[in-house]
Amino acid sequence: MIDQFAGKTAVLTGAGSGFGLECARVGARLGMNLVLVDVQQDALDAAAAELAANGAAVLARRVDVASAAQMEQLAQEVRERFGAPHLVFNNAGVGAGGLVWENSVRDWEWVLGVNLMGVVHGVRLFTPMMLAAARQDPAWRGHIVNTASMAGLLAPPNMGVYNVSKHAVVALSETLYQDLSLVTTQVGASVLCPYFVPTGIDQSERNRPQALAEEAPTRSQCINQATVAHAVAGGKVSAAEVAQLVFDGVAAGRFYLFSHPQALGAVRTRMEDVLQRRNPTDAFAERPELGAQLRAALAG
């Protein structure tokens, strides 16, 4: 829980667009120092210029969050420039899908590298710094927010590699919350589970590694990309609204952050499947026409 943000430091990955950029804008308005991290240099440069022009102290670094060495270098630079960060937003993410058996080893390495290991590195590097600062000052407060997805609480078809990465982030975040509660009351944790929000994640192909870019997508992967792009484009909740939700959640010490709480009905159904030991409910039970369309498309 952080009730006063002015003069404090935020580390934000995926800060060149989407939730990361919008949270950086909120942080700038609140008077925070900003560490902006992104793999896309032009987007990072634009974000840094905008936020510096608005008066924020900015440290911008191009970092592949999947790289342990690059993240370790980032953590060292943050410590030297600002000291322990008060807010860490492990947000960088990529989207990918298709029938789960059609994802290549490189697909798995890329998606899990960014979506999961990026969060792992943020947690393992910044949490000890935050705990050390808390031990030195009883008034010090910090918070870690990890971006998962509603796909981390559900298992929609044709999205396997993404689902796995986001389920792992939810489990990591829940464990982080419990582990922190064993050792401190000064550092908290949250998990952000957005639904379809226009952020640019449906354009993740722009940052695919070269080796992956040379692999021809399968039919199911093309269908997934088109489906997600359509759903994201139709999103009614903006990234800016989600950013405000994140800051409100941090200030309130709230763990689960949902952009679309109305989608929790599907989570309840999944949990009831588990508790009643029944087979997973058809993901298209309420919209059978969509299931028919997907099956027909996959059949070619």
State yes or no: is 256 an active-site residue. Answer: no
**Is residue 206, in this structure, part of any structural domain at all?**
yes
**Is residue 16, in this structure, part of any structural domain at all?**
yes
CB 147 within 8 A of CB 243: no
Domain count, the chain: 1
**Is residue 71, in this structure, part of any structural domain at all?**
yes
Whole domain around residue 248: which residue ranges? 9-261
**Is residue 276, in this structure, part of any structural domain at all?**
no
| Secondary structure element (H or E) that encloses residue 192, with its range | strand 187-193
**Is residue 273, in this structure, part of any structural domain at all?**
no
**Is residue 57, in this structure, part of any structural domain at all?**
yes
**Is residue 286, in this structure, part of any structural domain at all?**
no
pLDDT tens digits, 26-64: 999 999 999 999 999 999 999 999 999 999 999 999 999
Tell me which residue has tokens 């490189």.
Answer: 106
CATH number of the structural domain spanning residue 67: 3.40.50.720
User: From the candidates 162, 177, 195, 256, which is the catalytic residue?
Assistant: 162
For residues 158-185, average pLDDT = 98
**Is residue 40, in this structure, part of any structural domain at all?**
yes
pLDDT category of residue 231 using cuts at 50, 70 and 90: confident
CA dist 212 and 16 (Å) reads 22
Q: What is the pLDDT of residue 272?
A: 98
User: What is the value of pTM for the model shown?
Assistant: 0.94
DSSP H helical segments within the chain, as ranges?
Answer: 18-29, 41-53, 68-82, 105-112, 118-136, 160-183, 210-213, 219-233, 239-252, 264-275, 288-299
